[in-house]
Amino acid sequence: MIISVSRRTDIPSDYPDWFYQRVKERFACVRNPMNPQQVRTVSLAPEDVDCFVFWTKNPEPMMARLEELEAYAYYFQFTLTGYGTDIEPRIPHKRKTMIPVFQRLSEKIGADRVIWRYDPILFNKTYTPEYHLNAFGQIAEALNGYTKKCVISFVDEYVKNKKELKELGVYVLDEAQTLRFAKSLADAAGQNGMEIASCAEAADLSACGITHNRCVDPELIARITGRTLKAAKDPNQRKECGCMASVDIGAYHTCGNGCRYCYANSSAERVAKNRSHYDETSPILCGALSERELENVR
C-alpha cells in the first residue's frame, strides 16, 4: 500500500508531529471527502506500507525526525517555484530559506528521493513566460546535483480557485507559445542534469523533451525498495494522471500555506476553523472521532 502524505494538505510543513504520532501508533484515520460519515482506518505498520509519498512546499519541520522513518521507504515531492508572497504568502523566502532546505534534504536522503516540482505554472502581467524562464533557470542551477527530476504543470481552474485566478488576471498561452515555453524549460532542466516531466497534463509535450509523469511512481518505488509493485492506475485521480493507486491520509481545507491557486482549500475561514481543531494526538487530522467511530478503531 502506498500512503500519500498528502495531496490534500501540507502535512510535512504544518502537521509533522501528528504524522510522527500516527507512525508511532501505526495507524491513521481518514474521512471520505465525499461522504464524511465514512471513516477509514489506515494501517501505517511497516509491513503494510510499501512507501510514503510526501507532498510539500516546506519539509523542514519534519526533517529533524526522519530517523523515525528508518523502517519505511519514502520520497518527497518538493514544490519550489519563483512566486512571491503575492501568490504563495506563507512560504519562506525561496533563495534564502527554501533552496537551502531542498539541498539539505537531498544531502540527507539522496537526490533520487527528492523530486523538484515547479508547479502550477500560471501566467499574468507579473508572472510572464520570461519571468518563469528566468526563475526556473536560477532554481535549476541551484538544485543541480540535488535532484534528478523536475515535474511541471500548468494551473488548472477549479471551483475553489476560479475567483482567485480571475483576480490575478491569469491568462493561457496558445499552443505554439506553450511549446516554445516548454522547450525552454526542458533545455534548462537538461543543462542542470535533470529529467523533466509533466503532471496530469493533457497536452503532448514529448516533442519538447517532456514526458508524462507518474508522481506516485512505481518505477521509483521499485528502485527505492528493491521490490516491484503492481502498478494499477489510481481510479480516484483525473484521467490525465498516471499515478499508481495510493491512500491519502490528509484532509482538505486544512493547509496553512494560503497559496492563491490552491484547489484544496475553499476559504480562509474554513481553513482557520478546521485548523483550530488540530490535535496532534488525534487519529484523524484536524478533527475528532465520535465514540461510535472510536469503537470501530479500537
| DSSP tag of 284 | B
pLDDT band at 42 (very low <50, low <70, confident <90, very high): very high
Q: Is the pLDDT of residue 66 over 80?
A: yes
State the residue for C-alpha cell 535533470.
Answer: 194
Q: Is 176 exposed, middle or buried (0-12, 13-18, 19+ CB in 10 A)?
A: exposed
Residue 82 amino acid letter: G
Q: Where are the beta strands (DSSP E) in the chain?
A: 2-5, 27-32, 35-43, 51-56, 74-79, 114-121, 149-154, 195-198, 211-212, 247-248
Residue 241 confidence (pLDDT): 83
**In percent, how much of the chain has pLDDT > 90?**
83
Q: Is the pLDDT of residue 109 over 80?
A: yes
Domain count, the chain: 1
On the CB side of 131, CA atoms within 13 Å amount to 12
Query: Which 3 state secondary structure label does DSSP give 45?
Result: coil
* Listed range (130-134, 216-220, 254-258) with the worst mean pLDDT: 216-220
Residue 236 confidence (pLDDT): 75
pLDDT, tens digit (0-9, with 9 covering 90-100), for 151-194: 999 998 888 889 999 999 999 999 999 999 999 999 999 999 99
Write down the mean pLDDT value for the chain. Answer: 94
Q: Which residue segment(s) compose the domain that 8 sits in?
A: 2-297
Tell me how crowded residue 209 is: count the other CB atoms within 10 A of its CB: 16
Residue 34 and residue 14: Cα distance in Å, rounded?
Answer: 23
State the residue for C-alpha cell 481552474.
Answer: 157
Task: Label the pairing between strands 27-32 and 195-198.
Answer: unpaired
Q: Is the pLDDT of residue 39 over 60?
A: yes
Residue 75 and residue 52: Cα distance in Å, rounded?
Answer: 7
Residue 103 and residue 147: Cα distance in Å, rounded?
Answer: 9
More confident residue, 256 or 239: 256
Average pLDDT over residues 256-285: 95
pLDDT, tens digit (0-9, with 9 covering 90-100), for 207-233: 999 999 889 999 999 999 998 887 777
Average pLDDT over residues 133-146: 98
